[in-house]
Amino acid sequence: MGGKTITIAGCLTLTHLLQAQAPPIYVQPDIQQERLIYDVRPVYPKLAKQAHIQRTVRLAVLIDENGTVERLKLISGHPFLVKATFDAVKQWRYRPATYHGVPVAVVTIINVTFSLGIGEPPVSIAARGPAPVSPLSGNARPCKASPAASG
């Protein structure tokens, strides 16, 4: 009976290792956006506001099989806005993606746009269509700046 337990444990360990080594799959940002269950809005940096910097920060994002943002890679964005974007997006949580019923890691693109325009939200989060630097694409999702951003 002990041999069966060891064999089962060995199979479970091997299965777990194989899942951990599977490469992430590409998910279109509009599909991944629907899985977003918790997001933190970036704070518009004071220095960027004072300098009237309005830009989009574009990130490639690796989301693990549990729905946690694992890694962020800057594709483009103004240096004054990058840290605020990273600080916010690192806290996002997603419903896990699955492939054939098994949770998988995914890669997608996220755009966070900072705007000081009248009548527009100061910060919007979007994942947009095919990126020229990546095979990833997405959708738009506006949000308002956090209270710490005003002033």
Per domain, the residue ranges of the chain are: 24-149
pLDDT in tens, 128-143: 433 332 223 233 333 3
Fold of 24-149: TolA/TonB C-terminal domain (3.30.2420)
Question: What are the φ and ψ backbone dihedral angles of 49, each rounded to 5 degrees?
Answer: -65, -45
Contacts of 50 (CB under 8 A, 6+ apart): none
Distance CA 85, CA 110 (A): 10
pLDDT at 62 over 60: yes
The pTM assigned to this predicted structure is 0.66
Residue 14, classified by CB atoms within 10 Å of its CB into exposed (0-12), middle (13-18) or buried (19+), is: exposed
pLDDT in tens, 40-52: 999 999 999 999 9
Closest CA to 98 of 36, 21, 35, 38: 35
